Amino acid sequence: MSQIRCITSLMEMEANQTVSNIQTIMPQVKQSSDRHAVLCLQEMNGKTRHCAYLLVIQCGKLWIKISENNFIESLTEFFHITMSGLTSNSTSMISSTLLALGRLCLEFKENLAGTIVDELMSTLILVLQSRQREIVQAALSFCRVTLIIFSEVILSQYIKELVC
């Protein structure tokens, strides 16, 4: 927990609010370290988990703030960075990434539309087919989030794929 709090404090400093720092904290394929904030989303300690969720949201907001793109493009870009954790060979990283995506969807639900929704739903459909229990549990959690935040019209486009 102290690591997450330390990273959060560092990210609050103006000098540390850089793209490379955010990319280091969020899951990246090129990094195999298990110190990512996303992996802490599965901690047994509730306070650590809570701090990790807050750090993921803080990274998203900072990314949007410092990005040169408009808000929606920046948000989409940050979701892509987060979704890169799904390419990991680690079931813990994949399930943690799904939990992070779910929380980010709740945080930015008013701004989710278009291609990012398609990508999120396609991702959900793919991970629900996993044979790993840990991944499927996280995917079901993410599915609950999508049921809460997306309208019936949006969800109806994916119902066949979700049910099969």
At residue 46, the pLDDT reads 82
Extract the residue ranges of the chain whose pLDDT is less than 70: 1-2, 10, 15-17, 25-37, 164
In this prediction the pTM is 0.83
At residue 71, the pLDDT reads 92
At residue 164, the pLDDT reads 67
Q: How far apart are CA 101 and CA 98, in angstroms?
A: 5
At residue 36, the pLDDT reads 61
Q: How far apart are CA 88 and CA 116, in angstroms?
A: 20
DSSP string, 31-74: ---S--TTGGGG-SSHHHHHHHHHHHHHHHHHHHHH-SS-HHHH
At residue 69, the pLDDT reads 87
At residue 34, the pLDDT reads 37
At residue 16, the pLDDT reads 63
The residues near 54 (Cβ < 8 Å, ≥ 6 apart) are 8
